[in-house]
Amino acid sequence: MDWEILQEGTDASGIERDAQASRTRPSLSLPTPHSRTHPSYITGSHAAAILSSHHLHRGAHAKAACPAVLSVSLVLGVDLISSRRELVMARCQGTVESLCQGLLDLDDDKFGAMCSAFGYLQEWPDLSAMCGANLGVPAVVAPLAGDGDDSSCSGSGGGGGGGGFRKRRPDTYLDAKGDGNDMSKRPRGKQQQLCGHGEMAEPGKGKQERPKASAKKKAEPASTAAAADQKTDYIHVRARRGQATDSHSLAERVRRERISERMRYLQELVPGCSKVTGKAGMLDEIINYVQSLQKQVEFLSMKIAASNPVVSFDIVEDLFGRQLKQACSPAALPAMALPAGQLEPPCLQNQMSPCPMQQVHAPAAAASTGFGLDMVVNNNLYPPAMASCPVSAATPESAAAGPSIEPCLNVNGTAAWDISSQNLFSGFDAQFQSVESDCLLDNLKMEM
Amino acid sequence: MSSRRSSRGNISEDEINELISKLQALLPSSRRRGSGQASTTKLLKETCSYIKSLHREVDDLSDRLSDLMSTMDHNSPGAEIIRSILRS
């Protein structure tokens, strides 16, 4: 390790930066962890000090960098014990958070006293730029920076000390961010390798700080896909603490989010759905609603077809197509046997047949494969109609409209109305009405 | 995740799947395409658009019917019958 080079390159500039910082920012309300730790290490080893300050400068990654700082100082055998530092170090034992918290918990007075004891400025030295100027630094820095990246990727960053840094030093934050991005652009594998190196560099010592970071690393299998995913839409797909970050988990999370978003949307669309809790209840409600809407549409188109068959033929055909699927069931087909018996082949061809019954049924037979259900309706309901109005549907008018009208007759069971709408007879309205309502009810029942 | 949900809500994944397939059967597009299991996301999206189209259809039909009713002669047999239909 080129600790010497580091020392040479950074010490003077560090001081210089300190002075600069104090010029540009004469009064910082809160002392920063960086300036707190900086004096602690620089007395023992300048290299450690540079490293530590550099890493603490990486505002966003400061939390994770802290244990790294500790471990570096320990590796280098920096054994600087003063009462203040003991305080800091004692507080820093344990987790990353407690470390940062320990640094932050010191109040201004204590910190000022500490700084004055070490003869350092109470300001941030802008060491990140300085370290960038140092040739030897990046290589040494990498393992520690890797730690920082890992922890920030798994979403623990931002709280506590990190947030504080950003507020105090926006420019430093930007620096750190750029730095972090650079780091995250590095291949994951290399980073891990470097991290491993960092771990090797502190055998036996600093054990308390490591478990957290390594646990985070374990939780992150670090497949390149996952890394790419995180980079591309990490705003939406941000793993929270304790959440898995491999590609499958991320994809699954995205999927679930999308589904719940749609469910929310449907909840708005379906009335009464917001009261229901649970996915199953909501789906049930949605199904019911769709069914009721379908029925409503059919009912309305029926009514329109009844009142104006020629105009609304297209709608009826829609409806027809919809019914076709349901009517195609095997259960409905045997029923065709009955009406089929009444249908003579000539009638099938002859729309001008004088028998209204046949006229009604002929198209149904022509399309018989699909209309079993309708034929049942016809079979059950037309005989009374026939009894009441035996003749005369075969006016030229109805015959001319035959091809277009009759499908809707079959669908709706409103043949009687179509006939009567052409003013053929006015005396049978009562019967027609009863037939019609029966037909409608039947149709609806069959839809169920 | 699923085990937690099932223990809490007493609703198994199977039931949800059943409901989803039921919903799929109601949709015209999925019915046309066959029984291929589409993704839940797509299905829900389709459901949204289908419900919207049904809304539109119902509105359209209601308008038409009301137009027809207004243009129709009040004491014609046709109006009589439509009224009876509406009553039923």
Residues of B in contact with A301 (CB under 8 A): 61
**Identity of the amino acid at A236:** H
What is the Cα–Cα distance from A283 to A268, expressed in whole angstroms?
A: 13
Dihedral pair phi/psi, residue A45, rounded to 5°: -145, 125
A264 vs A249: CA distance, rounded Å: 22
Once rounded to an integer, what is the mean pLDDT over residues B54-77?
80
Residue in chain A nearest B58 by alpha carbon: A297
Averaged pLDDT for residues B47-76: 82
Which of A269, A276, A277, A304 should we substitute to test contact with B (largest number of B Cβ atoms within 10 Å)?
Answer: A304
| Residue A250 pLDDT | 87
Domain presence at residue B22: yes
The residue of A249, A255, A262 whose CB has the most chain B CBs within 10 angstroms, and thus the best one to mutate to test that interface, is A262
Give, for A147, the enclosing helix (H) or strand (E). Answer: helix A137-153
DSSP string, A302-337: HHHHHH-TTTTHHHHHHHHHHHHHHHTSTTTSGGGH
The pLDDT value given to residue A308:
64
Report the distance separating Cα A233 and Cα A235, nearest Å. Answer: 5
Question: Tokens 């059919």 appear where?
Answer: A298
Distance between the two ends of chain B, CA-based, in angstroms? 49
Quick check: is B70 in a domain?
yes
- Indicate yes or no: CB of B41 within 8 angstroms of CB of A270: no
Is there a contact between A269 and B58 if contact means CB atoms under 8 Å apart? no
> Which residue of A279, A289, A297 is in closest CB contact with B57?
A297
Which residue in this structure is represented by tokens 């308008």? B63
What per-residue confidence (pLDDT) applies to A127? 40
- Could you give phi then psi for residue A125, rounded to 5 degrees? -80, 135
What pLDDT shows up at residue B37? 59
Q: Which pLDDT belongs to residue A256? A: 87
What is d(CA A67, CA A161) in angstroms, rounded to the nearest whole number? 13
Of A334-338, B62-66, B72-76, give the range with the top mean pLDDT: B62-66
pLDDT at B33: 56
- In which band, very low, low, confident or very high, does the pLDDT at B38 lie, cut at 50, 70 and 90? low
Per-residue pLDDT tens, chain A, 448 aa: give them. 434 333 333 343 444 444 344 443 333 333 333 433 333 333 333 433 333 344 433 333 333 333 433 333 333 333 333 344 444 444 444 444 444 444 444 455 554 554 454 444 444 444 444 444 443 333 333 333 334 333 333 333 333 333 333 333 333 333 333 343 333 333 343 333 333 343 333 333 433 444 444 444 444 444 444 444 444 444 455 667 777 778 888 888 888 898 888 888 888 888 887 787 788 888 888 888 989 998 888 888 887 777 765 544 454 455 555 544 444 444 434 434 334 334 434 333 333 334 333 333 333 333 333 333 333 333 333 344 333 333 333 333 433 333 433 333 333 333 334 433 433 333 344 444 444 444 444 444 444 4
Contact A263 B44 (CB under 8 A): yes
Contacts of A372 (CB under 8 A, 6+ apart): A327, A328, A329, A332, A333, A334, A335, A336
Nearest to B85 among A270, A303, A429 (CB): A303
Count the domains in chain B. 1
Q: Do B47 and A290 touch (CB under 8 A)?
A: yes
Range of the domain at B29: 12-85
Q: Which residue's structure tokens are 């019954």?
A: A357
Q: Using an 8 Å Cβ cutoff, are A412 and A302 in contact?
A: yes
B81/A255 CB distance under 8 A? no
Contact B58 A296 (CB under 8 A): yes
Residues of chain A positioned with their CB less than 8 A from the CB of B65:
300, 303-304, 307
> What was the pLDDT predicted at B27?
82
Structural domain contains residue B1: no
CB distance A115 to A122 below 8 Å: yes
pTM beyond 0.90: the answer is: no
Q: Does residue B2 lie within any of the structural domains? A: no
Contact A304 B85 (CB under 8 A): no
Whole-number pLDDT of residue A46: 41
CB contact under 8 A, B47 and A296: no
Q: Is B56 a domain residue?
A: yes
Q: Do residues A442 and A381 lie in contact, with contact meaning Cβ atoms separated by under 8 Å?
A: yes
pLDDT reported for residue A277:
78
Q: For position A271, what pLDDT does the model report? A: 83
What pLDDT does residue B11 have? 63
Name the nearest CA neighbour of A406 among A303, A294, A296, A320: A320
- Which of B58, B61, B74, B87 should one mutate to test binding to chain A, selecting the residue with the greatest count of A CBs within 10 A? B61
| B2 exposure class (CB count in 10 Å sphere: 0-12, 13-18, 19+) | exposed
Instruction: Indicate yes or no: CB of B54 within 8 angstroms of CB of A432.
Output: no
Question: Residues A284, B19: contact at Cβ < 8 Å?
Answer: yes
For the beta carbon of residue A155, count every other beta carbon within 10 angstroms.
Answer: 17
- Which among A36, A50, A163, A31 is positioned nearest to A87, based on CA atoms? A36
| Most B CBs within 10 Å, among A297, A438, A443, to test the B interface | A297
Are A303 and B80 in contact (CB < 8 Å)? no
Task: Kindly indicate the confidence band of residue B26, based on its pLDDT and cuts at 50, 70 and 90.
Answer: confident
Spatial CA neighbour of A421 closest among B78, B76, B72: B78
Q: In terms of Cα–Cα distance, which of A183, A41, A73, A51 is closest to A128?
A: A51
Q: How far apart are CA A313 and CA A305, in angstroms?
A: 7
CB atoms closer than 10 angstroms to residue A166: 18
Q: A259 vs B77: CB contact, 8 Å cut-off? A: no
Q: Is A291 on the interface with B (CB under 8 A)?
A: yes
Beta-carbon separation of B65 and A291 below 8 A: no
Interface A:B, Cβ pairs < 8 A: 115
The reply to whether residue A300 touches residue B65, judged by beta carbons under 8 angstroms, is yes
Please answer yes or no on whether B81 and A291 come within 8 Å at the CB atom: no
A435 touches chain B (CB under 8 A): no
Query: Mutation test of the interface with chain B: which of A293, A317, A423, A447, choosing the one with the most B Cβ atoms within 10 A?
Result: A293
Residues of B in contact with A289 (CB under 8 A): 51
Specify if B45 maps to a domain.
yes
Which residues of A fall within a CB distance of 8 Å from B41? 255, 258-259, 262
- Is the Cβ of A429 closer than 8 Å to some Cβ of chain B? yes
Contact (CB, 8 A) for B81 and A298 = no
Domain-embedded: residue B27? yes
A386's tokens: 């026939």
> Which residues, at least 6 apart from A87, have a Cβ–Cβ distance to it below 8 Å?
A102, A106, A110
B79 lies in a domain?
A: yes
Q: Do A286 and B31 touch (CB under 8 A)?
A: no
Rounded Cα distance, A94 and B13, in Å: 42
Tokens 């949307």 sit on residue: A265
Chain A contacts of B23, Cβ < 8 Å? 283, 286-287, 290
Q: How far is B65 from chain A (nearest CA, A)?
A: 6
